[in-house]
Structure 1
C-alpha cells in the first residue's frame, strides 16, 4: 500500500502560519512525543525509581530503539544501538575501523564533510599516529589508495546536499583493503539508505534531524555483522562491557553491537525518539525517496523561474543529492532572516548559502509553492536589506 503522506503530516505539531523547511537541522515535534515523555516521567521514573531499569526496560531501550532505526537504513535486527552524541559515535567507529587496519595510517575524508567529523578524526589521528587526508568531494574516489585504512564520509553534504555513491565508494575502498565509516546525519529518514546492500562497514547518525527525535536526541551506531565481533573501539565504556554489573576491573567487550555502548542511555530523550519513530511504521522508503525528489525538483524549478538573484548550490540531478536544496546569495544570512520573519524557516550556512530541507513526512507541494512566492517577494523588493536582518545570532 502506498505511503499516506497526508496522514504522516498530521502526526506532527506544525505551528500555524509556518512553512518549515529546516527538518535537516531539527525536526518538528511529533504530536505524541510530549505525552510519551510525560508518561515515562510520571508512570516510570516517579513510581519505579531505580527499578525502572528492569521493570520499564530502560536498560535494553538502546537496542530496542536501534532496531526501529535499522529498517530505515538498510540494516538488520540487533545491529544498531543508541546512545551518546554523534561525535562520540564517529570517534568509536573510526577508531574501531583504524584498529582493524593497524598497518595503515591514512584516514580519508572530504572537505564537504561536517567539520565536527573532521575535528574528531583529526584528534584521533594525533592520538594514534595516523594521518587525516582531506580532498574535495569529487576527488574522493581517485584518492582511495593502498595506504588507506579508513574512508570516513558523510553520505549527504550538509551544505550542498550532494550525495556520495555509497556502494561505489565502499566497493573501491574494499578493493584497496580499506574499511568505510558512513555518517548518515543527513541521510537517515531522508533517502533510501542500504547499508547491508552496499557492504558498508560502520555507520553512525543523529536522530534530531529527519528522524524528529528532538534537540539533543541520541545518536546511533551500526557495525556490519561480519565485523561486529572484531571491532574494538578505543572509547570503552561501562555499558559496553560484557558484564557491567560484575564490576570487573578489566574491560571485556560485550558481544556484537553492544560493545559500542558507552555511558548511561538518555532514557527521557529516548522516550521522545521512540514516539517519533512510530510514524515510520507505515512508511515505505521508496515512496519517501520519490516524494523527496518531487519536492526538491519543484522547489528548484520554482526558485530558478522566479528568483534570478540566487544561484543553485546543489546538484541538479536528483540522483546525486539528498533531500535538501541550497542556493547562494551574497547576502544569504539577511535573506534567510527575512524569510524566517515571514514564516518560511530554512537556515543559513557560511559563507553565503541558503539551505532548505524537505522532509517528505510533513512537507508538501503547497509548502514548496508558498516558500517560492515568499522568497521571490523578498528578493524583488529587497526587504531583506534591513539592519536587524544582518545581525548574526549565536546559532546560524
Structure 2
C-alpha cells in the first residue's frame, strides 16, 4: 500500500488538481463546516432543483393547471428515463421512471417468474438489500406456485459469494437477482460475467442498481442484462423518496406483463375502456398517475452527472476511496477500525465501510458532536459515502481525523445505549 502524507496540505494539493472540484458549486450547502459523507443514502440538493421546484409550484401548477399534462408532464417518465439510460448503457426506450424501487422490483419479479413457467428457483445472496429479499418472499407467497429462494452466503460479509452463486445456477433457475453494488460493504459484482452464467442455464436476471447508478459505469446492453431497477435519491441527487426507475431490455418488453395493471399503462387510456389492454413498449409498466413534483425534480441531478461524465466521476471516486483507505491504514487501523469493504477498487463501489466494536456510538458522536454526517449499518459498519460531484479530499482528511478523535477521546461512550430510528 502506498503511504500518503498525514496532513491537510496534501489533501489540499489533491483538491487543487481535481478538475471536478467546481461541481461543488452546483449544490446547496448551508453548513459549509459540516462534512457530508452520506450521499450514498441521500444526495445533496442541486441548486437547479430549487429553481425548478419554484417553477413547478408557481407557474406549472399555479398558472398552467391541468394544461401542464400536455406541456411536458405526461412524457416526464420517458424523458427522464432516457437520460438515466445514458448512465447505465441502455437505449432511450428501455428505461422509464415510475413508483419506488421496491414496487418496480415487485413488478419485474412477478413478470419474470410468469414468463419462466416451470422454473422454480430464485437465486440471490445475503448481501442483497433486505427490502429486495422481502419483495422476493412476498412474491413467492403471493404466487403460491412452489417457487423457492436460494440464498448464497458471503464467507466474510464483504465480498460477494460468486462461486456459490455459480454453483446454485441450474436449469430449474428462473431468476438471478442481485444488488450490483452491495449496500453494506460496497462490493461491486461483475455484472457481465454473472449475467452470462445465468443465461447459460436459461435464467433471467434482475440487477438492483441503487448503489451504483451515478457512481460507477454500467453497461446493461453490453452485459446482456434482462431487467434492472434503481433509485434516484442517492448518487442521482433526485431528492428524498424520489421515484425510481426500471429497465427492460427491448426484446422482452412485449413478452412481459405488468402485474399491477393501471390506466397509465393502458392503450388509448382516454378512451376509458373497461377492459385492460396494455400499450406498446415500456410505458405498459406504468401503473398510476406519476407524482409530477418529485418526478420532475430528479432531472437536475441527472443532468449534473451527465455533464460531469460517469467515467470522470468513477476515476475520482477510485482516487478518493483509495485515499480514504490509505488514511484508514495509517491512522484508524491502530485504533481498532477494520476495513469492511473490498480492498480492490475494481470490486468496490463509491462507499467505504469501516467497522468498529463501538460503531454506532462513534457514528452518533460524529453526527452530534464532531460535525461529520456518515451513516451506520448494523452490526458495526460506519459507511462513508464518497460522492465525487461534491466530496473533496479535504472532507475525507477531516473525517478521518474526527473518526480518530471519537475513539481517542472516547466520545462514543455516551451514545452506546442510544439507537435512533434512522441510522
Q: Give the TM-score range, shorter chain.
A: over 0.9
Match of 1:181, SS state, is strand
| Segment of structure 1 superposing worse, 233-242 or 221-230 | 233-242
Contact 1:313–1:328 at 8 Å: present in 2 too? yes
Residue 248 of structure 1 is matched in structure 2 by: 273
Q: What does 1:1-396 align with in structure 2 at a 5 Å threshold?
A: 4-14=19-29, 15-54=31-70, 56-128=71-143, 129=145, 130-136=147-153, 137-138=160-161, 139-307=164-332, 308=334, 309-341=336-368, 342-387=370-415, 390-396=417-423
Match of 1:385, SS state, is helix
CA distance in 2 between counterparts of 1:282 and 1:174 reads: 35
CA distance in 2 between counterparts of 1:289 and 1:276 reads: 16
| Segment of structure 1 superposing worse, 256-265 or 241-250 | 241-250
CA distance in 1 between counterparts of 2:203 and 2:306 reads: 35
Q: CA RMSD in A?
A: 1.4
Contact 1:82–1:218 at 8 Å: present in 2 too? yes
Using the TM superposition, give the Cα deviation of residue 280 of structure 1 relative to its aligned residue in structure 2, in angstroms. Answer: 2.2
Instruction: Name structure 2 gaps, 5 residues minimum.
Output: 1-16, 154-159
CA distance in 1 between counterparts of 2:123 and 2:384 reads: 28
Using the TM superposition, give the Cα deviation of residue 249 of structure 1 relative to its aligned residue in structure 2, in angstroms. Answer: 1.8
Using the TM superposition, give the Cα deviation of residue 59 of structure 1 relative to its aligned residue in structure 2, in angstroms. Answer: 0.8
Contact 1:67–1:80 at 8 Å: present in 2 too? yes
Using the TM superposition, give the Cα deviation of residue 144 of structure 1 relative to its aligned residue in structure 2, in angstroms. Answer: 1.3
| Segment of structure 1 superposing worse, 196-205 or 334-343 | 334-343
Instruction: Name structure 1 gaps, 5 residues minimum.
Output: none
Contact 2:122–2:149 at 8 Å: present in 1 too? yes
Contact 2:374–2:383 at 8 Å: present in 1 too? yes
Using the TM superposition, give the Cα deviation of residue 263 of structure 1 relative to its aligned residue in structure 2, in angstroms. Answer: 1.3
Using the TM superposition, give the Cα deviation of residue 340 of structure 1 relative to its aligned residue in structure 2, in angstroms. Answer: 1.4
CA distance in 1 between counterparts of 2:197 and 2:364 reads: 43
Contact 1:155–1:182 at 8 Å: present in 2 too? yes
Using the TM superposition, give the Cα deviation of residue 278 of structure 1 relative to its aligned residue in structure 2, in angstroms. Answer: 2.4
Residue 11 of structure 2 is matched in structure 1 by: none
Using the TM superposition, give the Cα deviation of residue 3 of structure 1 relative to its aligned residue in structure 2, in angstroms. Answer: 9.3
Contact 1:3–1:287 at 8 Å: present in 2 too? no
Match of 1:384, SS state, is helix
Contact 2:265–2:279 at 8 Å: present in 1 too? yes
After superposing on structure 2, the runs of 4+ consecutive aligned residues of structure 1 that deviate more than 6 Å are none
TM-score norm. by structure 1 comes to 0.96
CA distance in 2 between counterparts of 1:255 and 1:8 reads: 39
Using the TM superposition, give the Cα deviation of residue 299 of structure 1 relative to its aligned residue in structure 2, in angstroms. Answer: 0.5
CA distance in 2 between counterparts of 1:390 and 1:24 reads: 26
Match of 2:316, SS state, is helix
Match of 1:386, SS state, is helix
Match of 1:191, SS state, is coil
CA distance in 2 between counterparts of 1:246 and 1:112 reads: 46
Using the TM superposition, give the Cα deviation of residue 152 of structure 1 relative to its aligned residue in structure 2, in angstroms. Answer: 0.9
| Segment of structure 1 superposing worse, 110-119 or 255-264 | 255-264
Match of 2:255, SS state, is coil
Contact 2:76–2:296 at 8 Å: present in 1 too? no
Cα distance change of structure 1 residues 12 and 79 upon mapping to structure 2, 3 Å threshold? same
Match of 2:413, SS state, is coil
Contact 2:93–2:250 at 8 Å: present in 1 too? no
Using the TM superposition, give the Cα deviation of residue 352 of structure 1 relative to its aligned residue in structure 2, in angstroms. Answer: 1.2
1:157-192 Cα offsets, whole Å, 9 max, x none, are 100101111001000000000000000000100111
